[in-house]
Amino acid sequence: MSDPNWWQHAVIYQVYPRSYQDNGHDGLGDLGGVTRRLPHIAALGVDAIWISPFFRSPMADMGYDVSDYCDVDPMFGTLADFDALIAEAHRLGLKIIIDQVLSHCSDQHPWFRESRSSRSNAKADWYVWADPKPDGTAPNNWLSIFGGPAWEWDGVRMQYYMHSFLTSQPDLNLHHPEVQTALLDVIRFWLDRGVDGFRLDAVNHYFHDAQLRDNPSRPPSDAHDVPETNPYGFQEHLYDKTQPENLDFLARLRGVLDAYPGRVALGEVGDGDRSPATVALYTAGDARLHCCYTFDLFGVRFDAGLIPEVFAQFGETAFAGKACWSFSNHDVVRHVSRWAQPGDDPVALAKLAIHLLVALKGPVCLYQGEELGLPEADIAFEDLRDPYGIRFWPAFKGRDGCRTPMIWEADAPYAGFSVAKPWLPVPAAHLPLAVDRQQDDPHSVLTAYRAAIALRRSHPALALGSITFLPQQGELLAFIRETAGERLLCLFNFGRKTATWEGEAARLTLPPFGFHIARG
Residue 188 lies in a domain: yes
Residue 150 lies in a domain: no
Phi, psi of 70 (to 5 degrees): -120, 30
DSSP state at residue 168: T
Domain end among 402, 435, 456: 456
Regarding whether 514 and 446 lie in a shared domain, the answer is no
Residue 274 lies in a domain: yes
CA distance 416 to 143: 41
Regarding whether 413 and 394 lie in a shared domain, the answer is yes
Residue 28 lies in a domain: yes
- Respond yes or no on whether the N-terminal peptide bond of residue 394 is cis (omega within 30° of 0): yes
The residues near 318 (Cβ < 8 Å, ≥ 6 apart) are 310, 311, 361, 362
CA distance 331 to 338: 13
Domain end among 456, 483, 499: 456
CATH of the domain at 514: 2.60.40.1180
Split into its structural domains, the chain has a count of 2
Domain residues for the domain of 97 are: 6-105+176-456
Contact present, 175 and 183 (Cβ < 8 Å): no
Regarding whether 480 and 433 lie in a shared domain, the answer is no
Beta bridge partners of 200: 100, 267
pTM of the model: 0.97
Regarding whether 216 and 78 lie in a shared domain, the answer is yes
Distances (CA, A) of 380 to 27, 386, 401, 418: 18, 12, 10, 21
CA distance 404 to 414: 11
Contact present, 77 and 177 (Cβ < 8 Å): no
DSSP string, 434-477: -HHHHTT-TTSHHHHHHHHHHHHHH-HHHHH-EEEEPPPBTTEE
CA distance 171 to 164: 7
Going 214 to 218 to 219 to 225, the CA torsion angle's sign is negative
CA distance 475 to 331: 28
- 3-state helix/strand/coil string of 247-259: HHHHHHHHHHHHC
Within 10 Å of residue 395's Cβ, how many Cβ atoms?
Answer: 9
Helix (H) or strand (E) holding 154: strand 151-154
Predicted pLDDT at 193: 98
User: In degrees, to the nearest 5, what angle opens at C-alpha 289 toward C-alphas 288 and 292?
Assistant: 145
Domain end among 433, 456, 479: 456
CA distance 257 to 245: 19
Within 10 Å of residue 12's Cβ, how many Cβ atoms?
Answer: 24
Regarding whether 448 and 471 lie in a shared domain, the answer is no
Helix (H) or strand (E) holding 188: helix 177-192
Phi, psi of 502 (to 5 degrees): -105, 110
Regarding whether 479 and 448 lie in a shared domain, the answer is no
Instruction: Indicate which residue of 201, 271, 296, 386 is catalytic.
Output: 201
Predicted pLDDT at 224: 54
Query: Pairing state of beta strands 364-367 and 291-293?
Result: unpaired
Regarding whether 491 and 419 lie in a shared domain, the answer is no
Residue 167 lies in a domain: no
Regarding whether 95 and 33 lie in a shared domain, the answer is yes
Angle formed by the axes of helices 306-314 and 275-283, to 10°? 50
Please choose, from the candidates 408, 276, 404, the residue with its C-alpha nearest in 3D space to the C-alpha of residue 337.
404
- 3-state helix/strand/coil string of 207-240: CCCCCCCCCCECCCCCCCCCCCCCHHHHECCCCC
Regarding whether 218 and 87 lie in a shared domain, the answer is yes
Regarding whether 347 and 285 lie in a shared domain, the answer is yes
Alpha-carbon dihedral 37, 38, 43, 49, rounded to 10 degrees? 120
Residue 449 lies in a domain: yes
Regarding whether 483 and 404 lie in a shared domain, the answer is no
Regarding whether 515 and 481 lie in a shared domain, the answer is yes
Give yes or no: 225 in active site: no
Residue 482 lies in a domain: yes
Helix (H) or strand (E) holding 265: strand 264-268
- How many residues appear in the chain? 520
Please choose, from the candidates 231, 197, 225, the residue with its C-alpha nearest in 3D space to the C-alpha of residue 329.
225
The residues near 499 (Cβ < 8 Å, ≥ 6 apart) are 473, 474, 475, 476, 493, 509, 510
Distances (CA, A) of 282 to 173, 209, 287: 19, 18, 9
pLDDT by 10-residue block (mean), the chain, 520 residues: 89 98 98 98 98 98 98 98 98 98 98 98 98 98 97 98 98 98 98 98 98 90 66 95 98 98 97 96 97 96 97 97 98 98 97 98 98 98 97 95 98 98 98 98 98 98 98 97 96 98 90 95
Instruction: Indicate which residue of 268, 271, 371, 376 is catalytic.
Output: 268
Give yes or no: 26 in active site: no
Residue 238 lies in a domain: yes
CATH of the domain at 386: 3.20.20.80
Contact present, 412 and 440 (Cβ < 8 Å): no
